[in-house]
Amino acid sequence: MRCDHCLASFPAKEVVRLEGAAGAARPAAAPGDGPPGLARPADLVFCCTGCRGVWLLVNEEGLGRFYAERRWALPGRPVGQVAPPADLSAYAVTPADGGAAAEVDVAIDGIHCASCVWLNERLLQRTPGVLAARVNYATHRARVRFDPRRIDLPRVLSRIQSAGYEPKPWVETAQAAARDAEVKDLLVRLGTAWFLASQLMIYSAALYAGYFQGMDQGTRSLLEWISIGLAAPVLFSAGAPFWRSTLTGLRHGRFNMDSLVVLGSGAALGFSVWQALHGGEVWSDTAAMIPTLVLTGRYVEARARRAASEAVARLATLRPREARLVRRGQEPSTTPPGAGAPRPSAEEHGGRGAPPADRLVPVDQVRRGDLVRVVPGERIPLDGRVVEGESEADEALVTGESRPVPKGPGAAVIGGAINLHGSLVVEVTHVGEQTVLAGIIRAVEEAQAQKPRLQALADRVVGVFVPLVLALAAATAAFWLWRGAGAERALLHAIAVVVIACPCALGLATPVAVLLATGLASARGLLVKGGDALEVAGGVREVLLDKTGTVTRGRPALRAVLVLAGGSDPTTAVAPFAGRAAGLVALAAAVERRSEHHVGRAIVEAARALPAAPEPEVTGFAAVPGRGVEAAVDGRRVLIGNRAFLEDRGVPVPPEADGRALPFEGAGDTTAWLVWDGAVEAVFVVADPVRPEAPAALARLRGMGLTVSIVSGDARATTGAIAALLGVAAVAEASPQEKRSLVAARQAAGRRVAFVGDGLNDAPALTQADVGVAMGRGTDVTMESADAVLVRDDLSLLPDLLLLGRRATAIIRQNVFWAFFYNVVAIPLAVAGVLHPIVGAAAMAASSAFVVGNSLRLRSTFTRADAALARPAAGGSEVLP
């Protein structure tokens, strides 16, 4: 028996019942829960009084919907059933405390909230032998320090497992590690620069006061040298990366942001030294502030980027890395001696009694010819051929096909597809680089390598600006020489031009705007990876969308019930108060509740929307694979199945039903025929419905002046029907590579393209597109190859993303202008030779304040957009007629 609250299995004699609960919110038992005929929904069963108490509490609070909304039907790993981790070698245990202790990093899967972190920490800390355990709230990484003489790694891991969490090796990609190191390095540099700059400001303030009020030469000289001494390390130590980057840039004959920093700040410092020696005003505060502000911008940028990629990395840990190995293959060439020998017959599958214990092994240890078991709800680990079992596979993520594909012995299965119901034993035919999945990933990498990185706007401007400033400085020197000034004086004025022209706020122009925009985006449920993605999103002219899972929900739902006129009326017995269509759905749901087929699930799901009613008695339930289900309801035979099922049973298809079902079938929908007492009563149409928010979202995109079309791997009829419904153009039956070349073709026509998808089959196109947008429920590869992720899995975020991109681009442009404005205004003063350091400091402060203030205007993006939109109409309800 299964508890209606916690879904735990328990022996029937311990049952705690709650009778007469049928009137209350019925817990929507997942289809197929429990053995058929045992659980009568009118009675609720619980494993303990505690669960009954919680169930009552939840319903008393009016929160009974929880039981309908939760998705616990997917088989997870039962709590307490502790399987030893497949591969301990992936865990990096490092000695700590001089060998007295060991330390290991573990990624804990299944952490959702702060109390999960709390629980894991406490659990580990109370484990004898564990010295310390700390879980990072942001990354879910547990750092466990234990005494290897008292406890070993598997026991530490099983402790985590026993609480229902999944320990995984903490693998940090070289890229992520480098990024973390970069952020850390930047933080130290930034702190150093700000410390020195703030100290420097005290002396600058004193010096400025001295200019106006007078200061004796000795004190002034002392303060000047101290300020130079403080500015020099900012430029040479904290600012070391600028020098390195400038040198590499110069070797390629390019000026970038860093060369401007080095040029302006270096000129200011050199100038200051010369002035201090000869008794003029020093510029050391300018020399220090330029690198400090630019470093601030860099740090802000790096943090925003890391936050986005961290979130994606966390989603990526969901990938299955283990396979249930039933038996090693017999191919001697592919397996080392010993391991290749067939296992003893006790482990062979096929005997009655308990199934053999499968070994969990890492996917990369599986070889060709091995037999692996795939239990329902699990991803098929590798490409292969079914040798045993009947099931259906959801290959939508790989191929884009929205309907589950039946799989029997001999059928080929693709790694990455989900096994829906029924356990399969698969003989692996392809591993490693030969799998379909690996081919797609290769295509992604190829597209990634070809994708040009957008040069930031600030860098593009600087490339022009630096030569201009140098020319202006040269012209200034020439002008003063021509006026008859000494070479020394002319040079000083030229340097002053370089110093004042260097806009330190330019370093803030992009990062501050990007930080605000990405923060705004993530509050909405949008993950944007980096500023250039935003900038490109602003320039998008054309949007291509994948169909399955992107425009549609990606799982079938009941679309229509075709009720046939005449005939006997079975519904009066079932739900006399509801309409006939509703009654038929309730009847079908009562039968299909025992089935795990996707059509059945869609009908059961639809029945949940109906008022609760006593369920008719269903007996003799049987499922016929590939055909349908049959049972007896109140003693009369009910069949629900496809046309072939009707043919098998010799049920005539009434012409009326035929005529009404054909258009739906032509559009690629699945039909299920309800036969009551040997006559067809109704036809259920099951289809992957369009997301309710899709029509409004697509209309908004068109309203923004974008061309929108659908590209799908699914059949022509299905795709065409959806496209016609939404009023957009469509391309059907496109392979992953075709999708990519389609995007490339539009790009070749000079248009910036955004591609939106959720499947692996979209990954190459996502990478090829200027902006790839992945749905939040997509695969990890998809999210990895995308520039932005709609974390909330809500298509209406797509116009938001493009809008934010447009707005952020506009703000960045304005910022760049304001960053230059005050400095450029002050250039004539420098040319005229009357520039005072206070003017430089004021220009710097004013432009920085303007850039930050202007960026803050981004915050109004969505409030304005939402007001203009006046709430888009919620898409029409899609379920019942």
Query: Among all residues, which ones are annotated catalytic?
Result: 546
- Rounded Cα gap, residues 306 and 263, in angstroms: 30
Beta bridge partners of 142: 106, 135
Q: How far is the CB of 842 from another protein (least distance, A)?
A: 25
- The answer to whether residue 360 forms part of the interface with another protein (CB under 8 A) is no
Contact between 192 and another protein (CB under 8 A)? yes
CA distance 744 to 738: 10
Q: Considering beta carbons, is residue 109 or 656 the nearer one to another protein?
A: 109
**Residue (148 or 377) nearer to another protein, CB:** 377
Binding part of the chain for another protein, among 162-170, 420-428, 490-498, 718-726 by CB under 8 A, reads 162-170
| Nearest CB to another protein, comparing residues 139 and 785 | 139
CA distance 230 to 224: 10
Among 8, 22, 56, 163, binds another protein (CB under 8 A): 163
Query: 686: helix, coil or strand?
Result: strand
Choice between 226 and 829, CB closer to another protein: 226
Q: Which is nearer to another protein, 117 or 638 (CB)?
A: 117
Please count the residues of this chain forming the interface with another protein, following the rule CB under 8 A.
39
Residue 547 DSSP code: I
Question: SS3 of 790, please?
Answer: strand
Tell me the chain's radius of gyration from C-alpha atoms: 34
Beta-bridge partners for 552: 690
Contact 538, 808 (CB under 8 A): yes
Asked if residue 209 binds another protein (CB under 8 A), the reply is no
61 binding another protein? (CB under 8 A)? no
Q: Which of 723, 760, 857 is nearest to 394 (CA)?
A: 760
CB 646 within 8 A of CB 678: no
Q: Which stretch binds another protein (CB under 8 A): 67-75, 279-287, 529-537, 611-619?
A: 67-75
Q: Is 237 in the site for another protein (CB under 8 A)?
A: no
Which of 24, 119, 412, 632 is the binder for another protein (CB under 8 A)? Answer: 119
Residues 36, 590: Cα–Cα separation, whole Å: 11
Q: How far is the CB of 190 from another protein (least distance, A)?
A: 10
| Euclidean distance between CA atoms 266 and 768, whole angstroms | 41
Region of 828 please: left (phi>0), alpha (psi -120 to 50) or beta.
alpha
Q: In whole angstroms, how close is the CB of 14 to another protein at the nearest point? A: 19
Residue 387 Cβ vs another protein, minimum distance, rounded to whole Å: 34
From the CB of 136, what's the least distance to another protein, in Å? 5
- Helical pair 457-482 and 506-524, crossing angle rounded to 10 deg: 160
Q: Is 79 in the site for another protein (CB under 8 A)?
A: yes
- Contact between 215 and another protein per CB under 8 A: no
Determine the 3-state secondary structure of 486 from DSSP. Answer: coil
692 binds another protein (CB under 8 A): no
Q: Coil, helix or strand for 121? A: helix
**Residue 555 near residue 598 (C-beta atoms within 8 A):** yes
For residues 269 and 213, is the Cβ–Cβ distance under 8 A? no
* Span of 134-142, 260-268, 587-595, 680-688 interacting with another protein by CB under 8 A: 134-142
Please give the Cα distance from 165 to 60 (Å, whole number): 30
**Is residue 205 a contact residue for another protein (CB under 8 A)?**
no
The verdict on 357 binding another protein (CB under 8 A) reads: no
Residues 98-117 that bind another protein (CB under 8 A): 110, 112-117
The residue behind tokens 């079975």 is: 570
Query: Which of residues 183 and 706 has its CB atom nearest to another protein in the complex?
Result: 183
Asked whether the beta carbons of 811 and 471 are under 8 A apart, the reply is: no
Instruction: Report, in Å, the least distance between residue 64 CB and another protein.
Output: 12
Contact between 73 and another protein by CB under 8 A: the answer reads: no
**C-beta closer to another protein: residue 197 or 509:** 197
Name which position in 46, 55, 67, 165 contacts another protein (CB under 8 A). Answer: 165
The reply on whether position 202 binds another protein by CB under 8 A is yes
CA distance 648 to 168: 50
Extract the tokens encoding 4: 């209606």
Q: Judged by CB, which is closer to another protein: 118, or 211? A: 118
Distance (Å, whole) CA 373 – CA 363 = 12
The site for another protein (CB under 8 A) is made up of 6, 63, 65-66, 69-72, 76, 79, 110, 112-119, 122, 136-139, 163-165, 184, 187-188, 191-192, 195, 198-199, 202, 219, 222, 226
